[in-house]
Each structure stands twice: as structure tokens, then as C-alpha cells.
């Protein structure tokens, strides 16, 4: 199961309840910044833990997609800015003669 971008956690059938509770707690903290201490995960059934783990994993994937879209938008804005700046610059003289383009510069 995906814990965070680039991080995965395996759920062992032997210790499934503990692994799911750990996964839910860790992933909830990664998403929200706090652990869900008000949830008593020891009282939940394994089916409820699986459903919550799937829900939390879906939130992780949604946040990954949001971050990718945000970064792609930022990169596109930066590319547009650099293109606009490069188009706004005056052409540089292609010769070493300092006064060859003086007439063009003064106009």
C-alpha cells in the first residue's frame, strides 16, 4: 500500500491488524499532520481497517496527483515567463565593432 509518494508498506497476513492500524496512523499523519489518536483502531474489525486503509491510500494518490498538477502548472508558468523575458530583450550585436549598431540603438 502507498504510504506517501515513493513510500510503500506491505501488509503481512500474519500481523494484518497491526500492520493496517500502523499504516492508517502513519498515512493519516502524512496527509493531515497529526495522528488520529481519537480513533481506537484496536476496536475496529479487520474489514473496517481494510476499508479505511484503502480510503487513506486513495487520499494519498489524490494528493500525489494534485502535487503533480500544481508542479506542472508552475513549470508552465515559469517557461512562459522565461519565453516572454527572452522575447523582450533587445538583440545583441553579432560583431565586435562597438559602434556598428549605434544607429539602431539610438532609434
Q: Judge whether residue 3 has pLDDT over 60.
A: no
Query: In sequence order, which ranges of the chain are alpha helices (DSSP H)?
Result: 16-32, 46-88, 102-106
Query: What nine digits make up the cell of 25?
Result: 496512523
Query: Tell me, what's the pLDDT at 18?
Result: 81
Q: How many angstroms separate the Cα of 37 from the Cα of each of 24, 34, 48?
A: 11, 9, 17
Percentage of the chain with pLDDT > 70? 71
Query: Tell me, what's the pLDDT at 70?
Result: 96
CA distance 33 to 63: 14
Query: Tell me, what's the pLDDT at 77?
Result: 96
Segment 33-70, tens digit of pLDDT: 777 777 777 788 888 888 888 888 888 888 889 999 99
CA dihedral 59→60→62→68, nearest 10 degrees, is 160
Amino acid at each position: 500500500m502507498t504510504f506517501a509518494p515513493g513510500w510503500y508498506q506491505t501488509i503481512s497476513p500474519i500481523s494484518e491488524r497491526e500492520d493496517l492500524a500502523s499504516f492508517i496512523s502513519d498515512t493519516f499523519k502524512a496527509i493531515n499532520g497529526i495522528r488520529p489518536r481519537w480513533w481506537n483502531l484496536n476496536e475496529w474489525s479487520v474489514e473496517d481497517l481494510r476499508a479505511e486503509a484503502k480510503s487513506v491510500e486513495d487520499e494519498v494518490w489524490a494528493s500525489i496527483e494534485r502535487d503533480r498538477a500544481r508542479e506542472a502548472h508552475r513549470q508552465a508558468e515559469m517557461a512562459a515567463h522565461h519565453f516572454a523575458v527572452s522575447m523582450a530583450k533587445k538583440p545583441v550585436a553579432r560583431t565586435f565593432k562597438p559602434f556598428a549598431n549605434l544607429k539602431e540603438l539610438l532609434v
